[in-house]
Amino acid sequence: MTTTDWPDTPNAWLEDYVVWRINSGKIATRPGTVPAQVPVYADEFLYWCIWRRKGRPEPRPTTFPGPAGIEKWAYAVLDGVNKRAPIQIPSPPQDYILAWAIWRFKNSPPDEKPANLPKDISVSAPYCWSFLNWAAWQRKRYSNPATPRPTNIPASIPNWCWAHLRQINQAVPLGPPPPPPPPPDPDKDPCSWTLPNPILYTTWGWQSDWVADDTMLQKAKAAGIKTIGLQGGQYGADVPGRCRAFGFKTFLWGRARPQDAEDLVVGHLDGYMPQTEGPGELVDALQVLRSGAGRGLSLGTVTTLGAFTSFMRLPPTEHHPEGKLTTVEVEELRALGLNYGSVEVYVQEGPHFPISTMMWAADQRGLQWFEPVIGLYWETSLNAYRPASDPESLDNCGRQLGFYMAEGFTPTNWVEVAKLGT
């Protein structure tokens, strides 16, 4: 078969065309970018891609140019095709695939590479990446069954993959399965706060050059922060969108104000957390919540527990035959749909420390759901929250907590937060 000279630059639609031919080829799914009549080189390139995706078997087909006629752009376009059209996993596999996958999952150094591997496994068995991506997904599902299926694995998985996966898991153990979640407490309402941890509180920084170039957001992303709190009146109109661009959830916090309802809507925020450090702030929070602010959003209160002082007991239940201890103030918030507290635990302020004491106090005051927010200001290390009198409470929280405040973080704090467990 006579081949053509490939152009110096491919048509912009070439990748779409090859992906379509490999994935479907049906007229109904033909990309609109692809012309009705394609030049000869397009099909030659398609056959070359298919040959490469099969591992370059011999004899080399004559349906495309020889090695000297393959343009450099072809390899980049092939990479794009492979990302959008996962390479099918054949049966049976090459005998070295299992040893290669185990070596990869062990994160072993190059000098421990199995001896029987070919020089370039991606060329001799390009489907290896489809199998590795599938196995990695299955291993993630061990601890999180809801892990979504990646788009870089083919729809059909041969039976041999499951046998290989079992041997991979034996060679590279996943660890014990996570314990089942505790049964729901029938005396508790569903938690009114659904935004993910860890939480980072911010204050005045948005009004300075502290965040002008998104450096703080980049650091927060690298540290694993999931949700950012914006203090009422302390940020510009562009800030919620900048946070969302990095994938963060956002909420409004601070002493409740009449304009909070408007700020929540205008900023498209995900949650509302009025502050209740004392009776006056509680009155403001109740008034604004009763006006409808935050309705339909995640609701919580950031609190020192100082506003919850009127103790009472709820009616007896099976779990609490003497009635659950609570406070009038917490029950007022609960009646408005708020039953979560982000409890301030600040080593800088003696009465609000240690963590275990504040968590006990939150339960005594009737909060159905609560987590600590620890103070990282005045150059305070996370190690300050591991005192000899309470060495394990912080690590027992994992990443289910908040940090006040971003403006006070030292470079070490970002590293410490990133290293916290789950």
pLDDT, tens digit, 9 for 90 and up, residues 266-281:
999 999 999 999 999 9
- pLDDT confidence of 178, banded at 50, 70, 90? low
Partners of 327 in the β-ladder: 311
> In this predicted structure, what is the pLDDT of residue 177?
64
Dihedral sign for Cα atoms in the order 319, 321, 326, 330: positive
Do 185 and 375 meet the contact criterion of CB atoms below 8 Å apart? no
The type of residue at 99 is A
381, two tokens: 């290390």
Mean pLDDT taken over the chain: 92
Residue with tokens 């070919």: 118
Closest C-alpha to 308, from 358, 235, 373, 253: 358
CA–CA distance, 330 with 309 (Å, rounded to integer): 9
Do 326 and 354 meet the contact criterion of CB atoms below 8 Å apart? no
- Is pLDDT of 67 > 90? no
Three-class secondary structure of residue 332 per DSSP: helix
Chain-centroid distance, C-alpha 93: 34
The answer to which of 108-122, 309-323, 405-419 has the lowest mean pLDDT is 108-122
Three-class secondary structure of residue 229 per DSSP: strand
Q: What angle do CA 71, 76, 79 make, to 5 degrees?
A: 130
Chain-centroid distance, C-alpha 340: 22
Task: Write out pLDDT tens, residues 48-57.
Answer: 998 988 888 8
Closest C-alpha to 403, from 244, 269, 267, 253: 253
Share of the chain above pLDDT 70, in %: 99
The stretch 85-89 carries a mean pLDDT of 86
Domain coordinates in residue numbering, the chain: 14-84, 97-171, 199-419
Q: Say which residues have a Cβ less than 8 Å from residue 137's Cβ, sequence separation at least 6.
A: 147, 149, 150, 153
> In this predicted structure, what is the pLDDT of residue 181?
72
Task: Write out pLDDT tens, residues 282-331.
Answer: 999 999 999 999 999 999 999 999 999 999 999 999 888 999 999 999 99
CA–CA distance, 342 with 302 (Å, rounded to integer): 5
Top pLDDT among 142 and 323 is at 323
Q: Where do the H-state alpha helices sit in 326-365?
A: 328-335, 355-364
187, two tokens: 């005396």
- Residue range 199-419 forms a domain whose CATH class is alpha beta
Query: pTM (2 decimals)?
Result: 0.60
Dihedral sign for Cα atoms in the order 19, 21, 24, 29: positive
- pLDDT confidence of 2, banded at 50, 70, 90? low
